[in-house]
Structure 1
């Protein structure tokens, strides 16, 4: 309590006493000793009321003991059972969880992880990928302000995410890996990596790069083959020994026909080789007839130009050529889409040619756009000209229905600089992104699409889209989300297909460990998105003719189904409405590959480095008792006594209010009883 507050209380006490003395002693007609009791009661009442007005604050301390947390995380991926370590892993988890001394010393919290982290319920070791880096990162964040050693039961073979060797350096907690796997080194051949483009072009050669590895001490001979169906299209003899353990093999194959083509890379196995699964790997390519050619027209250099070209060309099916307006006039028929960036007077001729040739366009405006030229060149939209600019952030229209769009955290994107004023679109259109100012969405288009006179168009009313691409990388450590968003927009604009009531989004082929997620949108007869539709997918395996039907669930504005984990093979599918006769079909292929079966041993070196970097210690699965003893004897993990300081204002103390009421009541009763009232 502060000194000034004590002074106020003292003054209140003196004031209360003086007021009571004035009433009951000064010129009082009451002669009995009763006046002293009434004096005391009145003093208490006045003092209590004055103290409540002062409202002093008191500090109280609550003490409690906080035990350290012991995090036990188990790798629940298929590689654990493949290495025959599943039962041993369960035994170690049971030994840690049921140890009474550990439970007295720690708050034990158990988790399992594969591609993601979850609270440990049961272990089935059926996760198709493992991401130890993600698990360590999340534990480091959750327990950043606690003493929480981390016990990780894993073989150390990560198949997804960042390298956990680097992630561990940013974690304050000590990590104790329990190594699940055999430390014996066997002679083994494996295909470490396979690099190939997803899309190739008809009659063109496409490169294939294979990295072949060998672990062993003896000199061996083998052969690498690439199969297309039952035919060998490439073969090469290889030699390995103790000093030469890896070789990069490069070749080029020719694409003879359109469609998805699958190949199998094979390393001829050694005699008595223990793991032959990692000797083969399938890959696929989609052969297309021609690229989509896109013209990007500008008269002012800007970082947006490079960002657009990079994003669009991230899809190998598309090629972007950059022109000045006059350079494109004689070549305009070579392009399926023209992007017009910041139009001005020099665009007059190209705008007329686009209108005559009925070419799809993507208009991007900005600070130097001449809106008079754009407004006069067409009848589809008009921008109110104010000669002032404003910064607008994007806000996703969740009911946008022209094509499927994922929310890539648009709210975090920097604002675009745009003409201040309303953009009025006079033809039927669909707004993809609204303008947002200071977090308030306004009913004005930042990005909109529309169709008119057999052509498709989009208009982005703002410059500095390069900042969006950079922010997307900051958010996800990858340009993929933003590039996919731009490519979906370009795919819509460069295609002349008519709009359908069911739009579907899927890939033509998936690798064995990919997430197989198919998305769909359904529209009513007025082409308005229907979020109450009942959709299902009929999936047919062309290899064994099996058929199954799965419902689609509404998720973030799209109907989705997750088919991850289905067997490799060719599939036809139909997405249908369960009431109306509306459907859309497609097909895809899943390539045979299980990344979790590519390992023969635990990665002991990386797990020991993980322990060393975090000031922990690595143990093998048969050393559980040594791990328990280490945790119990480590002086870093002791119970800490902590205190919580509570500041309580006196006005919250109900007993003082009760005392005031009681003293006033007693005083009134005595005065009433003695006829003083």
Structure 2
């Protein structure tokens, strides 16, 4: 309570007393001692009312002890069990969680991690990938405002994500790795990395680059082979010693037939090798007959052109040609799709020729688009011409059903500049993106697709799409999500396949540790998306003839199923409706490869670097008692006494109101009883 409030309360008390004295003493006919009781009651009433008007605030403090948090994070990946450290890991976790001194000193929180982090319930060491960097980053964010040392039980063999040894500087918590495994070096050959393109063209040679590693001190000879089925298509003799422990092997293989082709790289094992799993690696390529040629017709240079070229050519099945309108007229039959970028007066003949030859188009408008020519050249859509521009942000139509679209967090994308006014499409169409202005989603079209006269078309009503690609990189640390979105749109526009009631989305082959996800959309007889359908996938392994059926679940506007973890091999599948005779089929191949089985030892060097960079210390499982002692004696982890300040206003005190009412009532009763009223 400050001094000014105290002064106000003092004045209020004096004022209340003076008013009571004035009423009952000054010219009062009341002579008995009863007047002093009435003066007291009136003073209390007036003073209470004045206190409510002043409303002083009172502070109170509550003190409590806050224990630091001890985070225990356990690597639940397959590499731990492959190194035969799973039982040891369980013993260490049980010892840490059951230590009474640690529980008395810390709030113990335990987690497990593989590719993602979860609360520790049980350990099975079956996670197919491990991402220690992501786990540490999440712990750093969750416990940023606390004292929370982190104990990490891991072999240090990360298979996914950033280099974890440098993440520690951003975590700002001491990290104590408990190393699962040993540092003994055994002679070992391994295929460290294999680089190959996913798509190959028929009768072309495709490059294959292999990085072969050797750990050991002796001089050895081995042979590298590439198998196609039971045939060796490439072989090379390799020599390694203590000074030469790595070699890059490059070759080119011929694609003879269309389809998915699988190969197997082998490093002939040494007699003394303990781990021969990492001597083999499978890879696949999809051989396609020809590229889809796409023309980007433009008359104005803009960063959008480069963004479109990069995005579309990220899929090696497609080729982009940036071309002027006059040059395009001479090569119109060379392309399966025309992207018309901001058509102006120079596009007049191009638009007429496209209409006559029924070419599929993707029109991108902007600030310099001549809408008079564009409106007159076709009967499918009309833009209201205002000669004014506006910036619009995108909003995804989750009911869009022409093809499967993932939400790229479009709400975070920068606005596009386009003509102010509504775009009206007069033929049946589907809006993919709506316009958003000042956070309010309108019914105006930003991006839509439609089919008319046996042709397919899309229109994007805005320029500066290059900003979207840049924002997608900021959101996801890569361009893949945006490029995939553009490629799905291009794939739809460049294909003349008829629309089906079930659309499916999948890859032709998956590496052993990839997520195997099949997505689908189902439409009723009116081709309206049905979000209440009962869909399932029937999966058949062509090698073992085993069949299983798995339901698809509705997720973010699409039906999907996660088949990750199924055995390597060739699969046929059918996505079907359980109540109607509607289905769609496909096939894919899973290549045998387990990244978690590529390691022979714990990565002691990186785990030590992780500890040093975070002001922690690394320990082996045999040093658990030393770790416990050091943590308990570390003065950085003392219990902290904290206080909570509560500020209470007098107006919230109900008893004062009751006191005022009681004093007024007693005063009234006395006066009434004595005939003074």
Using the size of structure 2 for normalisation, the TM-score is: 0.99
Superposed CA RMSD in Å reads: 0.9
Moved more, 494-503 or 49-58: 49-58
- Cα distance in 1 for partners of 2:674, 2:138 equals 76
Number of aligned residues? 677
Say which SS state the counterpart of residue 635 (structure 2) adopts: coil
Cα deviation for residue 57 of structure 1 reads 1.8
- Cα distance in 2 for partners of 1:202, 1:664 equals 102
Pairing 1:58-137 to 2, within 5 Å after superposition: 58-137=58-137
Moved more, 519-528 or 50-59: 50-59
- Cα distance in 2 for partners of 1:152, 1:255 equals 47
- Cα distance in 1 for partners of 2:11, 2:364 equals 74
Is 2:608 aligned against 1:604?
no
Is 2:388 aligned against 1:414?
no
Say which SS state the counterpart of residue 566 (structure 1) adopts: coil
- Cα distance in 1 for partners of 2:658, 2:117 equals 54
Structure 1: unaligned runs, 5 residues or longer: none
Cα deviation for residue 664 of structure 1 reads 2.1
- The corresponding residue for 1:292 is 292
Say which SS state the counterpart of residue 637 (structure 2) adopts: coil
Is 2:584 aligned against 1:617?
no
Say which SS state the counterpart of residue 460 (structure 1) adopts: strand
- Cα distance in 2 for partners of 1:75, 1:405 equals 34
- Cα distance in 2 for partners of 1:320, 1:233 equals 33
Say which SS state the counterpart of residue 636 (structure 2) adopts: coil
Pairing 1:345-424 to 2, within 5 Å after superposition: 345-424=345-424
- The corresponding residue for 1:472 is 472
Cα deviation for residue 165 of structure 1 reads 1.8
- The corresponding residue for 2:283 is 283
Q: Is the 8 A contact 2:422 2:444 kept in 1?
A: yes
- Cα distance in 2 for partners of 1:219, 1:304 equals 55
Cα deviation for residue 603 of structure 1 reads 0.3
1:526-564: CA deviation from partner (whole Å, max 9, x where unpaired) = 111000000011001101111111110000000010100
- The corresponding residue for 1:645 is 645
- The corresponding residue for 1:502 is 502
- Cα distance in 2 for partners of 1:428, 1:363 equals 17
- The corresponding residue for 2:28 is 28
Structure 2: unaligned runs, 5 residues or longer: none
- Cα distance in 2 for partners of 1:308, 1:6 equals 72
- Cα distance in 1 for partners of 2:13, 2:498 equals 88
- The corresponding residue for 2:49 is 49
- Cα distance in 2 for partners of 1:13, 1:416 equals 67
Q: Is the 8 A contact 2:307 2:466 kept in 1?
A: yes
Cα deviation for residue 11 of structure 1 reads 2.3
- Cα distance in 2 for partners of 1:206, 1:227 equals 15
- Cα distance in 1 for partners of 2:301, 2:7 equals 72
Say which SS state the counterpart of residue 629 (structure 1) adopts: helix
- Cα distance in 2 for partners of 1:665, 1:120 equals 65
Cα deviation for residue 358 of structure 1 reads 0.6
Q: Is the 8 A contact 2:166 2:613 kept in 1?
A: no
Say which SS state the counterpart of residue 636 (structure 1) adopts: helix
Is 2:543 aligned against 1:551?
no
Moved more, 483-492 or 19-28: 19-28
1:320-369: CA deviation from partner (whole Å, max 9, x where unpaired) = 00011111111011111100111100011111111111110000000111
Moved more, 45-54 or 504-513: 45-54
- Cα distance in 2 for partners of 1:225, 1:139 equals 44
Cα deviation for residue 195 of structure 1 reads 0.4
Using the size of structure 1 for normalisation, the TM-score is: 0.99
Moved more, 484-493 or 24-33: 24-33
- Cα distance in 1 for partners of 2:404, 2:458 equals 15
Cα deviation for residue 95 of structure 1 reads 1.0
- The corresponding residue for 2:251 is 251
- Cα distance in 1 for partners of 2:248, 2:675 equals 113
Moved more, 299-308 or 16-25: 16-25
- Cα distance in 1 for partners of 2:431, 2:411 equals 16
- The corresponding residue for 2:226 is 226
- Cα distance in 2 for partners of 1:662, 1:250 equals 98
